[in-house]
Amino acid sequence: MVGSGSFAHVYSYVDPDYGTKFAVKRVKKDIDERDLQRFKQEFEVLKKLSFPYVVEVYRHDEAHNEYRLEYCDTTLRDYIATRNRKLGFAARKRIALQFLHGVNYLHHE
């Protein structure tokens, strides 16, 4: 397990066929029907998106209430926190612009 949220846990694994690390987001066992529907809706919304600065999702597994998605080895917050003193202006600008491009894309979808 690499993370946990309000209604799901996130795990990572290396796919033996691709040799690539993926993440799996799986609902918690005690989830209610309303949150399960929100989880499924989350996948459906993300599945329609395709942009370099937005995490990509791949496949929903109804039987296990989970979906596979692109693996990110850190959060933006953690990335900046661990490198804050080393990041120059150009790197900070690049990060900010990528974030804003992602938000702009989401806003217009």
- 82 and 69 both lie in a single domain: no
69 and 81 belong to one structural domain = no
pLDDT value, residue 109: 85
13 with 44, same domain: the answer is yes
- CA–CA gap between residue 52 and residue 54 (Å, rounded): 6
- The reply to whether 38 and 21 lie within a common domain is yes
Q: What is the pLDDT along the chain (109 residues), one digit of tens a residue?
A: 999 998 999 999 999 999 999 999 999 999 999 999 999 999 999 999 999 999 999 999 999 999 999 999 999 999 999 999 999 999 999 999 999 999 999 999 8
Both 58 and 69 in one domain: the answer is yes
Residues 52 and 68 in one domain: yes
Sign of CA dihedral 28, 34, 36, 41: negative
Residue 58 and residue 80 share a domain: no
What is the tally of structural domains in the chain? 2
Q: Token digits for 38?
A: 């929100």
Q: pTM to 2 decimals?
A: 0.85
Same domain, 2 and 41: yes
Residues 67 and 105 placed together within one structural domain of the fold? no
What are the beta bridge partners of residue 59?
68
> Do 66 and 82 fall within a single domain?
no
CATH number of 60's domain: 3.30.200.20
Nearest residue to 2 via CA among 76, 66, 73: 73
Closest by CA to 12, choosing from 58, 69, 76, 75, is 69
